[in-house]
Structure 1
Amino acid sequence: MIAQQHLLAHQPKALDQDLADLLKAEPELARKLGPLTSIPGVGLTTAIVVVAKTNGFVLVENERQLASYAGLDMVQHQSGLSARAMRISRWGNVRLRTALYLPASRQ
């Protein structure tokens, strides 16, 4: 039990150190993460997930494409004369959506 607590206490510190070492070795990655980590609620781990899942923003030209790829774009379901309320589509990349949604839900 004590060993597990010790491991859980030290794992985040070790992960943060590994990420810092990665950024020192990859200046291009550090350049892409800078603007993301300046957003309130977005830490280094979230920023790395976003860059990894978007392939470094290679295929993303604007924020609408990113929102659509993440499944965070708004849609309204309609059938005949009935129209339901607007909600997120949830058709995109689940891991990217989770990485973006969790920091926003903590604000």
Structure 2
Amino acid sequence: MRLRDRYGAWGIDTPRAESWRDRAACREADPKLFFPKGGDVTGSPGAETRAYAKGKKICAGCLVRPQCAVYALARDERYGLWGGMTPRQRQRLLNRMKAAG
């Protein structure tokens, strides 16, 4: 029987899996850039784009963006900017992947 790791995922917690975080461009950035308040993301047209704009700039230059995206997709992260993708973008990607089989 596999046990859940400290992040709630099944059997993914290894030193290698965590090492990408040490190299993440967002490591020293303000978390609010990646996890804006709910009202900042909804409401007016373009609110989501504006809320995540600064965080996306940091992600754009990050060397571990692919690892970050895989981490979020594997854990079905519903909030925040992960791997340069908003929750809506991640959901669209997951839907396309499921449809492709």
Give the structure with the higher percent helix: 1
Bigger RCO of structures 1 and 2 (CA < 8 A, at least 6 apart): 2
- Pair in the same fold by TM > 0.5: no
Give the structure with the higher percent strand: 1
TM-score (norm 1): 0.26
Task: Please tell me whether Structure 1 or Structure 2 has the larger radius of gyration of its CA atoms.
Answer: 1
TM-score (norm 2): 0.27
